[in-house]
């Protein structure tokens, strides 16, 4: 086994303290982005919250949560847009939140994305910190936070959820937690089409690791 696999993982509380600068930096960047969006929306008499939860892909996800699959929109030019293009994990979570709380599906999607974005930031830090050190972990998280399209991390989209699952799946691989890696990869595959790449990466790495151990 490699040094990365045999190195003892820190306790959860210790890991959170170690990741705190990255998470605080991420939260600050995203809060600034939301403030800018709110000011821009107010200047144009629009609702920033509606833009985050009930427009574009976010609206498609809430329709999947509310109506299930099979919903289509036929455009004037004859094009047909179907909600079959959207993977089910986020709508399932939206339904769960709506079932256990007074929140709407759209509110549930925003809440899931909010927590998933923080989980994703922590996962990115954990991977980079384990491989390259704490400073690299903080830089990786801040770079992800300031992406030009970073606003989608605060929308009721599946990007943050997928990133969290992919990052923690990779961390589980690095720490030799194969069942956890497999479950997280499966969930990533239920979130976005590129989840197939996560599943493939975990399976290939698991097979290679197994073969090496058998030879050893």
Question: In DSSP terms, which residues pair with 82 in a beta bridge?
Answer: 72
pLDDT at 72 > cutoff 90: no
pLDDT at 31 > cutoff 70: yes
Q: Is 81 helix (H, G, I), strand (E, B) or coil?
A: strand
Instruction: Return the closest-CA partner of residue 144 out of 164, 158, 169.
Output: 164
Dihedral pair phi/psi, residue 117, rounded to 5° = -65, -40
pLDDT at 4 > cutoff 60: no
Under 8 Å between Cβ of 94 and 105: yes
Banded model confidence at residue 10, pLDDT cuts 50, 70, 90: low
37-55 pLDDT, tens digit per residue, is 999 999 999 999 999 998 8
User: Comparing 3-7, 49-53, 109-113, which segment has the lowest mean pLDDT?
Assistant: 3-7
What residues does each domain of the chain span? 3-215
Question: In DSSP terms, which residues pair with 80 in a beta bridge?
Answer: 74
Banded model confidence at residue 11, pLDDT cuts 50, 70, 90: confident
pLDDT at 6 > cutoff 60: no
Section 147-164 average pLDDT? 93
Q: Is 72 helix (H, G, I), strand (E, B) or coil?
A: strand
Supply the pLDDT for residue 9. Answer: 52
pTM: 0.89
pLDDT at 27 > cutoff 70: yes
Q: Is 159 helix (H, G, I), strand (E, B) or coil?
A: helix
Under 8 Å between Cβ of 71 and 42: no
């Amino acid at each position: 086994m490699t040094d990365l696999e045999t190195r003892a993982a820190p306790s959860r509380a210790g890991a959170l303290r170690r990741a705190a600068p990255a998470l605080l930096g991420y939260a600050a960047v995203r809060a600034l982005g939301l403030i800018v969006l709110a000011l821009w929306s107010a200047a144009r008499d629009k609702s920033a919250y509606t833009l985050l939860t009930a427009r574009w892909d976010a609206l498609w996800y809430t329709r999947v949560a509310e109506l299930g699959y099979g919903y289509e929109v036929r455009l004037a030019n004859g094009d047909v847009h179907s909600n079959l293009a959207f993977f089910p994990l986020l709508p399932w979570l939206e339904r769960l939140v709506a079932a256990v709380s007074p929140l709407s599906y759209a509110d549930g999607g925003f809440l899931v994305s909010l927590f998933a974005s923080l989980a994703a930031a922590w996962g990115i830090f954990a991977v980079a910190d384990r491989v390259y050190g704490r400073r690299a972990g903080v830089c990786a998280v801040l770079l992800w936070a300031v992406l030009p399209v970073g606003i989608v991390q605060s929308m009721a989209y599946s990007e943050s959820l997928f990133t969290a699952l992919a990052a923690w799946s990779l961390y589980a691989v690095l720490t030799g937690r194969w069942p956890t890696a497999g479950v997280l990869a499966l969930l990533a595959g239920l979130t976005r089409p590129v989840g197939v790449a996560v599943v493939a990466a975990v399976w290939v790495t698991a097979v290679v690791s197994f073969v090496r151990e058998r030879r050893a």
